Amino acid sequence: MDEIKIAVRFTEERERLDFSLAGFARMLEVNRETLRKAEAGLSEFRSGLLARAALLGVDVQYVMTGIRSQNAKTVVERLGFENPTIHGSVSGVGFANKIENLHFIQTTNHKTTVKAETKPGKEHITEEQKAILKGLVDKVVETEAILKKQPKTHRAVWAALNTHCRVTTYSLIRLDDFEKARRYLHQWLGRLNASASAPVKDGDNWRKRHYVYIKINTKMPEDKEAVDTYMRRNFKVGSLTELSNDELLKVYRYVAGRRNKRR
C-alpha cells in the first residue's frame, strides 16, 4: 500500500472532523509524536489505532482504499457517537465548555477577578475553530524546534497570533477574523518550510510534509491536472518523487498560491 496516500487520507479525515493533532492523539490513546509520524508517512497505522479512529467518525475504508464507505454514518450512529459533541473538545478529552456570560471568580485571597465575556459562534471563534488554531500552533512550534537555533515557544507563537488579531487571548478572536488567524499561521509554516535549512535539517521529513500538503490540496481533478501540467512544463517530470528539493519547493509554492487565491 502507498503509505503516503494513506497518511494523506487519514489527515484529511482528522481535519474533516475538526480535531487538532494533539487532541486527536489523546482521543486515540497514543502520544502526539506517534500520530505525527503516522500522518507524515513515517510509520504505519496500526490496527488498534484505526479501530479507535473509526469510533471517532473516521472513515477507515476511505483511509485505506480511497473509496468512501457507504455505511460510515450508520456505524457511527450505532456506536452512539455524535461528531459535533466529540470534535467540539479543544483538549480532546470530554466536552467543550462554552462561556456565555461574565464570570466572577473568588480567589483564595478573596479578590474578585473578572473574566472577559466570550460568545463562541456568535461574536467570537467557536470551540471547533479554536481546536484548528491550536493544531496549527502545535505545527509551528514543532517545525520551529526542528529548523531554528532559537525556536519560538508555544507562548511566543500564541502571543504573536493574538497580537496579529489584536486580542489579549485567542478566545477573543472575532468570528470574522478566524480566516485571518488561520492564514497567518499557514503563512508562518510556509516561511519555515521554505527556509534554506529546511531540506537539510529535516531531510526526508521535509519532503514528506511537502508531499502530504501538495496531495491534500490537489484532491480536485482540476487542481491535480494543473499541478501535473506545471511539473511537466517546468521540470519535465510526472511525479513528485522525481523532483529535486528546489523543484519540490517550487511546486509547493505553486499549490499554496492556488489555494490562497480560492480563499
Local confidence band at 120 (pLDDT 50, 70, 90 cut-offs)? confident
Residue 89 has a pLDDT of: 36
- Geometric angle at alpha carbon 69, from 33 and 94, rounded to 5°: 45
Q: Residue 114 phi/psi, 5° resolution?
A: -110, 125
Local confidence band at 226 (pLDDT 50, 70, 90 cut-offs)? very high
228: exposed, middle or buried (Cβ count in 10 Å: 0-12, 13-18, 19+): middle
Encode burial over 185-198: b for 16+ CB neighbours within 10 A, e otherwise: bbebbeebbebeeb
Q: What whole-number percentage of the chain has pLDDT above 90? A: 11
Q: 44 by DSSP, 3-state: which?
A: coil
Distance CA 232, CA 248 (A): 13
For the segment 222-245, the average pLDDT, to the nearest whole number, is: 89
Q: What whole-number percentage of the chain has pLDDT above 70? A: 77
> Is 229 a residue whose pLDDT tops 90?
yes
Least confident of 27-36, 99-108, 252-261: 99-108
For the segment 115-135, the average pLDDT, to the nearest whole number, is: 82
Instruction: Supply the angle between the helices 198-216 and 178-193 in degrees, to the nearest 10.
Output: 140
Residue 103 has a pLDDT of: 40
Neighbours of 123 (CB within 10 A): 12
